[in-house]
Chains A and B, each alone.
Chain A
Amino acid sequence: MVEAAALWISGHLAEKIRAHGAETYPHECCGALLGRDSNAVLLGDPGEGSSTAAREILQLFPLVNRRDDSPRNRFSVTAEDVMAAEKAARDQGLDVVGWYHSHPDHPARPSEYDRDHAWPWYSYIIVSVQNGAPQDMTSWRLNDDRAEFSPEGIEIRHRAAV
Chain B
Amino acid sequence: MPVKVMIPSPLRPYAGKRDSAEFNARTVGEALGHLTTQFGELRKHLFTEEGKLRSFVNVYVNDEDIRYLAKENTPTKDGDTISIIPSIAGGCRPLYGSSIFYQTTNDRPRD
Contact = CB atoms under 8 A, between A and B. Distances in A.
Interface of A: 28, 30, 67, 70, 72-79, 81-83, 95-97, 99, 101, 103-107, 109-114, 116-122, 124, 130-131, 144, 146
Contact of B101 (A30, A107, A116): A107
A122 B8 CA distance: 11
A76 B92 contact: no
A73 B85 contact: no
Given A105-B106, A106-B102, A146-B44, A113 B90 contact: yes
Q: How big is the B interface, by class?
A: 20 to 34
B106 to A, nearest CB: 5
Interface of B: 9-14, 41, 44-45, 56, 58, 60, 65, 85-96, 98, 101-103, 106-107, 109-110
B88 A74 contact: no
Secondary structure at the B interface, as helix, strand, loop or mixed, is: mixed
A104 B96 CA distance: 19
27 contacts: A28-B91, A30-B88, A70-B93, A76-B87, A76-B89, A77-B87, A78-B87, A82-B85, A82-B86, A101-B91, A104-B92, A105-B106, A106-B92, A106-B102, A107-B102, A110-B90, A111-B101, A112-B96, A113-B89, A113-B92, A114-B91, A117-B56, A119-B10, A120-B11, A120-B45, A121-B13, A124-B90
